[in-house]
Chain A
Amino acid sequence: MGSGPPVIEPSYTVATVTDKISSVVLTRRTPVGWIIGFSVALLLTMTFLTAVLTLFAAGIGIWGVNVPVAWGFAIINFVWWIGIGHAGTLISAILLLMQQKWRQSINRFAEAMTLFAVLCAAVFPLLHLGRPKFFYWLFPYPSLHGVPPQFRSPLVWDVFAVATYFTVSLLFWYVGLLPDLATFRDCAKRKLAKIVYGVLAMGWRGSAIHWHRYDTAYLLLAGLATPLVVSVHTVVSFDFATSILPGWHTTLFPPYFVAGAIYSGFAMVLVLAIPLRAAYGLEGLITPRHLDNMAKIMLATGLIVDYGYVMEAFFAWYSGNEAERFMMINRMIGPYAPAFWATIACNGLAILALWFPRVRRNVPALFGIALLVLVGMWLERFFIVLTSLHRDFLPSSWGMYYPTIWDWATFAGTIGLFFTLLFLFIRFLPLISMFEVRALVEPKT
């Protein structure tokens, strides 16, 4: 496991780990902070429903999108949310395969974060369809209307990639929950809780032979999720890269997008983990070691993203292509330049502080940097989508995009939806994987 501070506070035993984590759901009173946070999140979810209903009634004209900028907030938010989801899969699958044992106290809620983020992402392309009621036309079902899905289009690949990603993440999450649901069934005092957790646990009883198959299945799922997570953001980047627009048509996009996704995802994990461990007294389970490791991954992936920014500029110049060069100059000094420079400030400069161990150990500073990263990654998608679209090859078709109140309401609404689901998850399910942490604290004799 290497040197450095311990992964889990040494005073924990197999029994106290279980009690500590299950008490959050089963015995402790619902904290006031939970009620306030949940109420705010629910209010924002109502905003989301209002915005969506208005969209259904009035049509997509209530958003700021038009020719030439047909991809506005909807696509920016889609890419942002789905990127955030990637950290959960990275923690649960890739770090599992690499036997990084420190992952075991953060994987559960990171996986939940993945599910909810993918859900928030998935609503945007559907709303952006213009006629959302025909969304099922994207699936290849036997129909007579003569419009099959166009399998040569990255947008259809996206449907399959995102749907598979959500389904596999859900399976992975549920399989991981199974033994912990059995613990809840056995620890719960109230009859209703016993029944509900009992049904969900499917009669799990911790048999050695069951564990054997369980471990095999879990490892195989991790092996399947690893190429999947890389493929998902690659396919998302194909939506851009297979077009011929300046600034989008580049082979750099897949790795650049995947790194950006993991980078923003770890920022979100930090933004969630830091208040959670303080609110529920979980500092002994989510230790400074975890925060330090996550900050390091954030720094590493952030630097890959920065390399992407540099290469984009370099190739715009080196290609000698007039449209590419203009796009880059327009990005830096055009009407959307503030978004570009703010991105550089967040993703290029702010994260450099993470080189210093003192900053990585300073919890408020880490929280602040993670927030800046989330803002920076949103702005990055903002300038990627807008600068290429609003001024393309023909100056006669140039235009501007301004988000409307409904764009903002939908975006804020998905943040509400995300936190509503997250608050419900914290209240009703074990937010740390108990059986994996038990294996971690068990004395090896």
Chain B
Amino acid sequence: MNFPPIYGLLAEFDTSASLLKAARQARAEGYRTMDAFSPMPVEGLSEALGFRHTRLPWIVLAGGLFGAAGGFFLQWYLSVIGYPLNVGGRPYNSWPAFIVVSFELAILAAAFAAVLSMLACNGLPQPYHPLFNVPRFESASRDRFFLCIEAADPSFDPDKTRRFLESLKPHEIFEVPH
């Protein structure tokens, strides 16, 4: 397989506004396989990169419904089938009393769904990433903003892409080794 010699080109910006502008221009230029990095969420940045929406809310809803149904089934099964216990002639399936635990388990399952699916969709935990090879990238978690155009992009060309990134007036440009 013909591996590109580098992972991509990384441009550093001073503010979130200039990163946002750069991301929009890169997309207009036809680049698709790229990512932007910032020390805090930047509104509109993922949309500028072409990311439309996430399925996360649906996964969380499914988790919540599973928790509620599973929780109710658990109580119903234990009280009606598994260990029927006659308490003063009350019905075995005393469903109003089962609401609280069903609710708590719905929240529990939905919360796990939210966290685990967020991590899974993001591909975390991921101990190694080529970007960590750029020492300067450490400031992406402090106060700097980065745009990375990956070599895997069909329109990537080491010289042309570098010239394009320079035209965005970044602070500096880095090559990202594998």
Contacts and interface: CB of A to CB of B under 8 A. Distances in A.
A206 B107 contact: no
Contact of A221 (B37, B114, B126): B114
Interface stretch (B1-9, B92-100, B151-159): B92-100
Interface string A1-35: 00000000000011100100000000000000000
Interface string B118-145: 1101101111110110000111111100
Contacts of B60: 217, 220, 224
Interface string B71-99: 00011001100110101001000100110
B45 interface: yes
A152 B143 contact: no
Of residues B23, B104, B125, B127, which shows the largest number of chain A Cβ atoms within 10 Å of its Cβ?
A: B104
B78 A148 contact: yes
Given A15-B143, A211-B42, A435-B39, A168 B107 contact: yes
Nearest to A438: B40
Given A183-B142, A217-B114, A224-B107, A151 B36 contact: no
Nearest to B103: A231
B115 A203 contact: no
B41 A215 contact: yes
Interface string A190-230: 00000000110011111111111111110011001101100
Given A146-B83, A168-B111, A208 B51 contact: yes
At the interface, is chain A mostly helix, strand, loop or mixed?
Answer: helix
B24 to A, nearest CB: 12
A234 B82 CA distance: 29
B42 A208 contact: yes
B133 to A, nearest CB: 12
B62 interface: no
Nearest to B90: A152
Contact of A208 (B45, B64, B74): B45
Interface string B51-80: 100101100100010000000001100110
B79 A212 contact: no
A164 interface: yes
Contacts of A146: 83
Of residues B39, B54, B131, which shows the largest number of chain A Cβ atoms within 10 Å of its Cβ?
A: B39
B122 A213 contact: yes
A132 interface: no
Nearest to A211: B41
Given A179-B141, A216-B118, A221-B114, A207 B35 contact: yes
Interface string B100-116: 11011101101110110
A432 interface: no
A175 B83 contact: no
B32 to A, nearest CB: 13
A228 B100 CA distance: 11
Contacts of B115: 171, 174-175, 217, 221
A204 B82 contact: no
B100 A161 contact: yes
A93 B104 CA distance: 17
Contacts of B114: 171, 217, 220-221, 224
Nearest to A179: B141
Given A207-B35, A209-B35, A445-B17, A220 B46 contact: no
A157 B39 CA distance: 41
Contacts of A187: 138, 141-142
25 contacts: A15-B142, A148-B82, A148-B85, A152-B79, A167-B111, A179-B141, A186-B140, A187-B141, A203-B125, A207-B36, A208-B42, A208-B48, A209-B46, A209-B122, A210-B124, A211-B41, A211-B46, A213-B118, A213-B122, A216-B57, A217-B114, A220-B60, A220-B110, A224-B107, A443-B15
Interface of B: 15-17, 23, 35-42, 45-46, 48-49, 51, 54, 56-57, 60, 64, 74-75, 78-79, 82-83, 85, 87, 90, 94, 97-98, 100-101, 103-105, 107-108, 110-112, 114-115, 117-119, 121-122, 124-129, 131-132, 137-143
Given A148-B82, A228-B104, 17 more contacts: A140-B75, A150-B85, A151-B101, A160-B100, A161-B100, A167-B111, A186-B139, A205-B137, A205-B141, A208-B38, A208-B48, A209-B35, A217-B60, A435-B41, A436-B40, A438-B39, A445-B17
